[in-house]
């Protein structure tokens, strides 16, 4: 299919502001009379607030007001409150104080006398599951999506049988299976069985979650740092305690989120509540880098066990997986479920059992982080494929291609119900990457020594669901003929808010310089869109922009027929005109059509809207009704099956056995993301995902002192995301570029699996450099490599987590 805009590079409209530093983030918002908020956070991993004495704080010059836990809405436990009287991790906000200056606010915080009663705590899920083990919250130790908040303890026998080396496997709270794994294991040519640890790690978004707010005329105005705009509105309004219609929300720029700022979050509501207490006075909370580590979100870690049975040709015929998830101190995210589903789609096991227990710990709350669960799956299980390949004597690429879904995905199975997918080309991604990377040639020289250095190659694969449906699109053609594309998806930094908006321009035949993207806040009349998370934007918002533009197109054709005679079918759109098919001289400009729409009113200019669109979209349309020709519609296009984004990564490294250091010689990432709508966007996702993945694989992790529950990774130099000088300057990228049949332009999501493909490829390459040593632990940190190379045991216990 040939497109004018789709598949072409362009300059996203927010790029210049970001490059030149003129972009304004939440922390940059200032207003006359602004008050500044600081928080008193818990120094203990688990405690109960017994008494708060503000008398000295109130005497600090500049003190304005304080908020305490009983003044804010408390969610049902183990939800995350804005302020907590039972803090469940070091750094959890307990009290907020506003003052004339930030300095005064901090001085007042220092003057607060708060009496905390320490409570039992744990930073290791397995410790909590032991008989009599500590619960991270007073009400229990188990939670999670679809799981009752409860206490679960395993038996002493469960732990004794497992010993120190193997994951104890007491009763799970999640269990499903398909096929007959016992029979399949009995028929397997090779069975690999490993216990594994995957660390938790921070999101490291460049912009901390600062927020500002004020009240005016009954409306609450909030500046927040979030990946999403429309999707954040209702939940933020709920946190503030107002209907969404009373919230004016600004979120023009977001300095990164990686899932940690998927929508709203409790801290974002704090300035609004403080402002209300101060009679609407503007309030700002500036969140520091350290605070971001203390009370931001993090990826969930796992203690896991997997047993995989392979046929002699490498086909995975049986998979048995058990994961214990570190939920953090709240109900967290459902990474555990995603381990199960990712295993099914990437490896296509013929028979499988999945069991899981998500356990609360007194650590930073866990939120979604790029490929939540799916990328841990890659890091935990891709090395097992290599181990099986070595034992079977087959190529590491071959064992992946024989299992990977491909050919469009007609035979691919997904999830516990073994449902269908909209398209899948992972096998093709592997083949394309292998050719570009010259896998056969490089694999042949893998293991070559050069002094203390070893050259090695690795492959990784990963998955994330990549599309949703049912949201609204909204476009407007104003009397000057300009196309306004209203999008509420948010601006995480991927530029997909812009690339998906171009679909509307494509449908209507617009030149891109005649289009304006209306975005960045509810005041811009944004439709109800899903948030910018979950790699869904490309699929979901190309559909909404397609249906909105199609609605506008139909109205243009109707007006053309109305004005020039005949039926709408007698006309086409060309060069911003409605043009008669039979006579090119019969034409009416879009600008004139917009004026006509305003004269016609009704559905043409937004005074009437489809019943099925979301109330927030209706409110947005109402605000612009009468200002042009309105195209608005709900995405009711067919969708059947899961939309998978898949990726393959190929890496060559040189590892120094004397220092444990490695250098990446080459990396190639290939995305199965449907039609490529923005090549530079895909390239940025491949490269950015890889950089993030290399940190996930080898240096990023949470460390907690188990005796005091205090975190060790509370700054960039301790949490250790990779930097430009740790990664190659050039990295190769490609895409399968096969359209997804359930999207009008064939697009589907991109971003998340590109991290897991890179991280698991690197882990596999390190393993290869060490003669196939399987670490069964992510990240593979320098000291672990040094120890293996020197023939020494590791310092950590096999299943220890949140440790060095």
| H or E stretch covering 519 | none
Q: Cβ 317 to another protein, closest distance in Å? A: 39
| Burial (Cβ within 10 Å: 0-12, 13-18, ≥19) of residue 392 | middle
Which of 699, 733, 742, 746 binds another protein (CB under 8 A)? It is 699
Q: Cβ 311 to another protein, closest distance in Å? A: 39
Rounded Cα distance between 489 and 497, Å, is 6
Rounded Cα distance between 10 and 127, Å, is 53
User: For another protein, which is the closer residue by CB, 618 or 722?
Assistant: 722
If binding means CB under 8 A, how many residues of this protein chain bind another protein? 55
Name residues contacting another protein, limited to 56-75 (CB under 8 A): none
Which of 109, 273, 342, 736 binds another protein (CB under 8 A)? It is 109
State both tokens at 801.
């987590």
Q: Cβ 48 to another protein, closest distance in Å? A: 22
Q: Cβ 554 to another protein, closest distance in Å? A: 55
Find the Cα–Cα–Cα–Cα dihedral 224, 230, 232, 235, rounded to 10°. 130
Binding span for another protein by CB under 8 A among 50-58, 229-237, 284-292, 487-495: 284-292
106 near another protein (CB under 8 A): yes
Rounded Cα distance between 425 and 739, Å, is 10
795 near another protein (CB under 8 A): yes
110 near another protein (CB under 8 A): yes
Q: Cβ 99 to another protein, closest distance in Å? A: 11
Give the x/- contact pattern for another protein in 652-681, rule: CB under 8 A.
Answer: ------xxxx--------------------
Is there a contact between 802 and 303 (Cβ–Cβ < 8 Å)?
no
User: For another protein, which is the closer residue by CB, 453 or 577?
Assistant: 453
103 near another protein (CB under 8 A): yes
User: For another protein, which is the closer residue by CB, 366 or 720?
Assistant: 720
Is there a contact between 215 and 221 (Cβ–Cβ < 8 Å)?
yes
288 near another protein (CB under 8 A): yes
567 near another protein (CB under 8 A): no
Binding span for another protein by CB under 8 A among 46-54, 183-191, 236-244, 286-294: 286-294
Report the alpha-carbon angle 18-23-26, nearest 5. 125
Q: Cβ 128 to another protein, closest distance in Å? A: 16
Q: Cβ 235 to another protein, closest distance in Å? A: 27
The beta-strand segments (E) located in 549-591 are 571-574, 577-580, 587-589
Q: Cβ 712 to another protein, closest distance in Å? A: 5
User: For another protein, which is the closer residue by CB, 497 or 704?
Assistant: 704
Q: Cβ 101 to another protein, closest distance in Å? A: 9
In the 3-class helix/strand/coil scheme, how is 594-657 assigned residue by residue?
Answer: HHHHHHHCCCCCCCCCCCCCCHHHHHHHHHHCCCCEEEEEECCCCCCCECEEEEEEEEEEEEEC
Which of 185, 214, 253, 294 binds another protein (CB under 8 A)? It is 294
600 near another protein (CB under 8 A): no
Q: Would strands 283-285 and 211-216 be described as parallel, antiparallel, or unpaired?
A: antiparallel
Task: Evaluate the omega torsion of the peptide bond into residue 779 and state whether it is cis, within 30 degrees of 0.
Answer: yes
712 near another protein (CB under 8 A): yes
| H or E stretch covering 221 | strand 219-224
Q: Cβ 697 to another protein, closest distance in Å? A: 12
Q: What values do phi and psi take at 465, rounded to 5?
A: -60, 145
State both tokens at 289.
């880098």
User: For another protein, which is the closer residue by CB, 293 or 305?
Assistant: 293
| Nearest CA among 650, 649, 651, 662 for reference residue 770 | 662
698 near another protein (CB under 8 A): yes
Give the x/- contact pattern for another protein in 765-784, rule: CB under 8 A.
Answer: ----------------xxxx
Roughly what angle, to the nearest 10 degrees, separates helices 374-392 and 753-769? 40
787 near another protein (CB under 8 A): yes
| H or E stretch covering 20 | helix 15-20
Which of 186, 708, 741, 771 binds another protein (CB under 8 A)? It is 708
Which of 38, 355, 577, 687 binds another protein (CB under 8 A)? It is 38
203 near another protein (CB under 8 A): no
Q: Cβ 293 to another protein, closest distance in Å? A: 8
Q: Cβ 37 to another protein, closest distance in Å? A: 11
Which of 50, 157, 445, 792 binds another protein (CB under 8 A)? It is 792
705 near another protein (CB under 8 A): yes
Question: Would the CA dihedral through 447, 449, 450, 453 be positive or negative?
Answer: positive
Which of 246, 703, 728, 774 binds another protein (CB under 8 A)? It is 703
Rounded Cα distance between 183 and 174, Å, is 22
Q: Cβ 426 to another protein, closest distance in Å? A: 31
Which of 41, 446, 529, 760 binds another protein (CB under 8 A)? It is 41
Rounded Cα distance between 630 and 607, Å, is 9
Rounded Cα distance between 9 and 677, Å, is 8
Give the x/- contact pattern for another protein in 715-734, rule: CB under 8 A.
Answer: xxxx-x-xxxxx--------
Rounded Cα distance between 404 and 394, Å, is 16
454 near another protein (CB under 8 A): no
Rounded Cα distance between 141 and 135, Å, is 5
Which of 714, 736, 747, 778 binds another protein (CB under 8 A)? It is 714
Neighbours of 472 (CB within 10 A): 28
For tokens 């399968």, name the residue. 736
Give the DSSP letter of residue 704: B
Q: Would strands 190-198 and 777-778 be described as parallel, antiparallel, or unpaired?
A: parallel
Rounded Cα distance between 474 and 617, Å, is 8
User: For another protein, which is the closer residue by CB, 292 or 335?
Assistant: 292
Q: Classify each residue of 6-37 as buried b or exposed e, where b means 16 or more C-beta atoms within 10 Å of its C-beta.
A: bbbebebbbeeeeeeeebebbbebeeeebbbb
Report the alpha-carbon angle 66-78-289, nearest 5. 55
User: For another protein, which is the closer residue by CB, 586 or 720?
Assistant: 720
Rounded Cα distance between 220 and 317, Å, is 56
The total number of residues written for the chain in this structure: 804
801 near another protein (CB under 8 A): no
Rounded Cα distance between 247 and 220, Å, is 5
Is there a contact between 304 and 167 (Cβ–Cβ < 8 Å)?
yes
Task: Evaluate the omega torsion of the peptide bond into residue 447 and state whether it is cis, within 30 degrees of 0.
Answer: no
Q: Cβ 492 to another protein, closest distance in Å? A: 25
User: For another protein, which is the closer residue by CB, 326 or 506?
Assistant: 326
Quick check: helix, strand or coil at residue 543? helix
707 near another protein (CB under 8 A): yes
| H or E stretch covering 697 | helix 679-698
Binding span for another protein by CB under 8 A among 11-19, 192-200, 700-708, 735-743: 700-708
User: For another protein, which is the closer residue by CB, 294 or 528?
Assistant: 294
Binding span for another protein by CB under 8 A among 65-73, 106-114, 198-206, 307-315: 106-114
91 near another protein (CB under 8 A): yes
Rounded Cα distance between 314 and 318, Å, is 11
Which of 54, 105, 239, 254 binds another protein (CB under 8 A)? It is 105
Which of 14, 86, 252, 291 binds another protein (CB under 8 A)? It is 291
Give the footprint of another protein on this chain (CB under 8 A). 38, 41, 91, 102-103, 105-107, 109-110, 286, 288-291, 294, 452, 658-661, 698-699, 703-708, 710, 712, 714-718, 720, 722-726, 781-784, 786-787, 789-790, 792, 795-796, 803-804
């Amino acid at each position: 299919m040939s497109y004018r805009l789709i598949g072409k590079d362009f300059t996203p409209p927010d790029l210049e502001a970001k490059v030149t530093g003129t972009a304004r983030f939440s922390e940059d918002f200032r207003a006359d009379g602004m008050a500044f908020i600081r928080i008193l956070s818990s120094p203990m991993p688990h405690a109960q607030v017994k008494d708060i004495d503000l008398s000295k704080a109130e005497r600090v010059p500049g003190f304005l007001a304080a908020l305490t836990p009983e003044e804010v809405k408390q969610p049902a436990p183990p939800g995350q409150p804005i302020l907590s009287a039972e803090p469940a991790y070091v750094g959890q906000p307990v009290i907020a104080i506003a003052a004339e200056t930030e300095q005064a606010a901090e001085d007042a915080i220092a003057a607060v006398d708060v009496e905390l009663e320490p409570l039992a705590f744990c930073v290791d899920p397995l410790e909590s599951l032991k008989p009599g083990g500590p619960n991270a919250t007073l009400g229990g130790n188990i939670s999670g999506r679809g799981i009752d908040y409860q206490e679960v303890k395993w038996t002493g026998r469960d732990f004794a049988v497992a010993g120190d080396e193997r994951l104890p496997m007491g009763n799970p709270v999640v269990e499903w299976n398909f096929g007959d794994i016992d029979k399949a294991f009995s028929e397997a040519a090779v069975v690999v069985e490993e216990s594994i640890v995957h660390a938790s790690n921070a999101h490291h978004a460049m912009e901390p979650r600062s927020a500002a707010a004020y009240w005016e005329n009954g409306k609450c105005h909030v500046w927040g740092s979030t990946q999403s705009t429309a999707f954040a509105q209702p939940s933020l309004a709920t946190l503030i305690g107002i209907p969404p219609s009373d919230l004016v929300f600004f979120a023009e720029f977001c300095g990164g989120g990686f899932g940690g700022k998927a929508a709203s979050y409790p801290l974002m509501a704090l300035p609004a509540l403080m402002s209300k207490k101060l009679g609407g006075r503007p309030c700002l909370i500036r969140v520091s880098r350290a605070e971001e580590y203390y009370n931001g979100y993090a990826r969930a870690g796992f203690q896991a066990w997997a047993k995989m049975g392979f046929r002699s040709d490498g086909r995975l015929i049986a998979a048995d997986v058990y994961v214990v998830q570190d939920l953090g101190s709240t109900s967290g995210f459902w990474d555990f479920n995603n381990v199960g589903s990712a295993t099914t789609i990437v490896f296509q096991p013929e028979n499988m059992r999945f069991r899981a227990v998500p356990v609360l710990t007194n650590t930073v709350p866990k939120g979604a982080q790029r490929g939540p669960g799916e990328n841990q799956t890659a890091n935990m299980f891709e090395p097992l494929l290599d181990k099986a390949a070595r034992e079977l004597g087959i190529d590491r690429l071959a064992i992946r291609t024989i299992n990977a879904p491909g050919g469009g995905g007609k035979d691919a199975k997904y999830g516990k119900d073994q449902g269908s997918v909209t398209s899948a080309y992972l096998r093709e991604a592997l083949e394309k990457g292998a050719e570009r990377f010259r896998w056969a040639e490089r694999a042949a020289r893998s293991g070559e020594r050069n002094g203390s250095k070893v050259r090695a190659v690795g492959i990784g694969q990963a998955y994330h669901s990549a599309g949703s449906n049912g949201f609204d699109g909204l476009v407007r053609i104003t009397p000057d003929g300009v196309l306004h594309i209203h999008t509420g998806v948010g601006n995480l930094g991927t530029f997909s808010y812009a690339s998906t908006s171009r679909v509307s321009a494509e449908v209507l035949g617009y030149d891109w310089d005649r289009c304006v993207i209306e975005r960045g806040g509810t005041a811009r009349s944004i439709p109800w869109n899903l948030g910018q998370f979950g790699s869904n934007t490309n699929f979901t918002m190309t559909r909404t922009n397609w249906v909105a533009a199609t609605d506008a197109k139909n109205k243009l054709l109707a007006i053309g027929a109305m004005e020039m005679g005949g039926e709408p079918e007698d006309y086409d759109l060309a060069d911003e005109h409605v043009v008669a098919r039979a006579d090119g001289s019969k034409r009416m400009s879009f600008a004139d059509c917009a004026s006509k729409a305003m004269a016609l009113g009704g559905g043409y200019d937004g005074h009437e809207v489809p019943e099925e669109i979301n109330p927030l979209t209706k409110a947005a349309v109402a605000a612009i009704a009468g200002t042009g020709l309105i195209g608005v519609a709900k995405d009711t296009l067919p969708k059947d099956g899961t939309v998978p984004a898949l990726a393959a990564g190929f890496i060559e490294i040189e590892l120094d056995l004397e220092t444990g250091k490695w250098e990446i010689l080459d990396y190639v990432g290939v995305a199965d993301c449907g039609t490529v709508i923005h090549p530079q966007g895909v390239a940025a996702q491949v490269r950015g995902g890889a950089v993030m993945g290399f940190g996930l694989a080898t240096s990023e992790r949470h460390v907690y002192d188990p005796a005091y529950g205090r975190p060790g990774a509370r700054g960039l130099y301790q949490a250790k995301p990779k930097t430009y000088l740790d990664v190659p300057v050039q990295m190769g990228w490609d895409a399968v570029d096969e359209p997804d049949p359930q999207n009008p332009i064939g697009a589907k999501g991109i971003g998340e699996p590109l991290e897991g493909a890179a991280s698991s490829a690197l882990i596999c390459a390190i393993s290869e450099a060490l003669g196939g040593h399987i670490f069964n632990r992510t990240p593979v940190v320098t000291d672990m490599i040094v120890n293996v190379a020197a023939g020494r045991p590791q310092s950590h216990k096999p299943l220890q987590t949140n440790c060095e």
